[in-house]
A and B are shown apart, each in its own frame.
Chain A
Amino acid sequence: MAAKRKTPVKTRNPDLIRGVGKYSRSKMYHKRGLWAIKAKNGGVFPRHDSKPKSPAAAEKPPKFYPAEDIKKPLLNKRKSRPTKLRASITPGTVLILLAGRFMGKRVVFLKQLTSGLLLVTGPFKINGVPLRRVNQSYVIATSTKVDISGVNVEKFDDKYFSKEDKKKLPEEKKEDQTAVDTVLIKSIEGVPDLKAYLGARFSLKSGMKPHELVF
């Protein structure tokens, strides 16, 4: 195929009405520069004959034919990618966990892992939620954001959370937790009342209508 253009051509022949172009065949011949291509090639259009085919290796007839025709599976061009992240969830968003051990806790979102789960931390000192993975569906995103610029979350991925020793938490993980949290806690303490907010659990009180609440 000829080399692709860097910018797609906007049509040289705009439509007056659907089906009727502004320029005639002869005008378009001139506009496309076909006269120049012909001139460059000595008065004729350049021909690209297909290359002579090298003789294909002689195929041996197969030893075995299946009794019925085997069906080919349908083509599947789907690519696997992490779950689409809701627009309201950005790094630093305060999320409310809706299920599990930490139901109702308000927690800081760090990043989305390749499996699609959200990496989240309490911070641990504030509300007891460690670095943890959480599913996007079990979370309410609030509009409150924490400044997360000083935190390095590059090293955390899904493999980090596979448990080799189910009884004891390795020291390294405790250090990772404090490393992430100290930076976070400093930026949290910069906002008045935010620390107490993250330490408190969310609950529906009498008169609160979830469909009318602004989060």
Chain B
Amino acid sequence: MYPFKRYVEIGRVALVNYGKDYGKLVVIVDVVDQNRALVDAPDMVRSQMNFKRLTLTDIKIDINRVPKKKTLIDPMEKACVKNKWENSSWGRKLIVQKRQASLNDFGRFKLMLAKIKKAGMVRQELAKLKKEIAA
């Protein structure tokens, strides 16, 4: 119905998709102008970022405009931003991607064996179901 679901607002958690802080979760703490936001995270210095460097997430926390660092960290802990992120399907995908990229050659081999095994089991179950339907 509405074309947009995630809005740029104070307290919106965003993922940095370009630059030195690539992959970090940051909170939009103020809007500078049409293109830039003031952005903050517990482990970084508050800085401005172009919206093009941010991808908005579903997570939003309740803060006032430009809070102090401590007043930023508390609502983040309360809303369990990190937990919510790591349990969301998007966050889980990123964690898996990072883990797969760091696999060594033996790890990739074992992954291949596991995929083949899983696919085999799925195919067996499917064949059983098909037989039941045919019977």
Q: Measuring CB to CB, which residues of chain A are less than 8 angstroms from any residue of chain B?
A: 94, 96, 106, 142-144, 193-194, 196-197, 200, 202, 212-215
Shortest Cβ distance from A192 into B: residue:
B110
Chain A residue numbers with a CB within 8 Å of B104 are 142-144, 214-215
- Residues from 76 to 135 in B contacting A, C-beta threshold 8 Å: 101-106, 109-110, 113
Beyond A194-B106, A214-B101, A214-B102: 13 further Cβ-contacts under 8 Å? A94-B106, A142-B104, A142-B106, A144-B106, A193-B106, A193-B109, A197-B106, A197-B109, A197-B110, A213-B105, A214-B104, A215-B104, A215-B105
Q: Which residue of chain B is the closest to A106 with respect to CB atoms?
A: B105
CB within 8 Å of A: which residues of B?
A: 101-106, 109-110, 113
The residue from A143, A200, A212, A213 contacting B109, defined by CB atoms under 8 A apart: A200
Number of A-B contacts defined by CB within 8 Å: 33
- Cα A212 to Cα B103 with chains together (Å): 11
Which residues of B are found within 8 Å of A96, using beta-carbon distances? 105
Q: CA of A212 to CA of B98 in the docked complex: distance in angstroms?
A: 12
CB distance from A159 to the nearest CB of B (A): 33
Known A-B contacts A193-B113, A196-B113; A212 and B106 likewise in contact (beta carbons under 8 Å): no
In the A-B complex, the 4 residue pairs with the closest CB atoms = A144-B106, A142-B105, A143-B104, A197-B109
Instruction: Tell me the smallest distance from the CB of A202 to a CB of chain B, in Å.
Output: 7
Pairs A–B under 8 Å by Cβ, sample size 5: A106-B105, A142-B105, A193-B110, A197-B109, A214-B101
Residues of A within 8 A of B103 (CB): 214
A140 vs chain B, min Cβ distance (A): 8
Give the chain A neighbours of B105 by CB distance below 8 A.
94, 96, 106, 142-144, 202, 213, 215
Among B102, B106, B113, which residue has the most Cβ atoms of chain A within 10 A?
Answer: B106
Residues on the B chain within 8 Å of A213, using CB = 105
Which residues of A lie under 8 Å from residue B101 when comparing CB positions? 212, 214
Q: In this complex, what residue of B is CB-closest to A145? A: B106
- Give bound CA distance, A144 to B102, whole Å: 14
Across-interface contacts of A196 in B (CB, < 8 A): 109, 113
A94-B109 Cα distance, complex, nearest whole Å: 13
Residue of A nearest to B105 (CB): A142
A94 to B113, CA, bound (A): 19
| Closest CB in chain A relative to B128 CB, distance in Å | 28
